[in-house]
Amino acid sequence: MTQAARDAASAAGWALTDIDRLTVHQANARISAGVADALGIPAERVPSNIAEVGNTSAASIPLLPASAAAEGRLRAGHRVMLAAFGAGLTWAATTLVWPPGLRPLS
């Protein structure tokens, strides 16, 4: 995931320091922390809810931004990196800029 994240940032024209939120497939907290550390992204920029919901696997990718937005930790204009891995040694990462007006369902 680390190399995929570097490649995605490069393709977007971003430096790793430009990333406001890193959303990682959170199979466990150690993986999220390890990826963030390897990329030099501070822990406060890495949303996590594993203590509350457990291993959500690849569902972390939509769940984490939704909860971060609902809590006000993800705002319009934030640069977001999404990175995940799966069975069969697959992995991917992509970038997006959080859009204005996007609100969680109530």
pTM, full prediction: 0.89
Rounded to 10 degrees, the C-alpha dihedral 41/42/45/47 comes to 100
Helices (DSSP H) in the chain: which residue ranges? 2-12, 29-39, 50-53, 60-70
Q: Which CATH superfamily is domain 2-97 in?
A: Thiolase/Chalcone synthase (3.40.47.10)
How confident is residue 44, by pLDDT bands cut at 50, 70 and 90?
very high
How far is it, in rounded angstroms, from Cα 54 to Cα 65? Answer: 16
Q: State the distance between the two ends of the chain, measured CA to CA, in whole angstroms.
A: 32
pLDDT tens track for 49-89: 888 888 887 788 888 898 888 888 999 999 999 999 887 68
The confidence score (pLDDT) of residue 52 equals 87
The confidence score (pLDDT) of residue 88 equals 66
Sign (positive or negative) of CA dihedral 4, 76, 63, 49:
positive
pLDDT tens track for 29-42: 888 899 999 999 99
The domain segmentation of the chain, as residue ranges, is 2-97
How far is it, in rounded angstroms, from Cα 84 to Cα 25? Answer: 5
The confidence score (pLDDT) of residue 31 equals 86
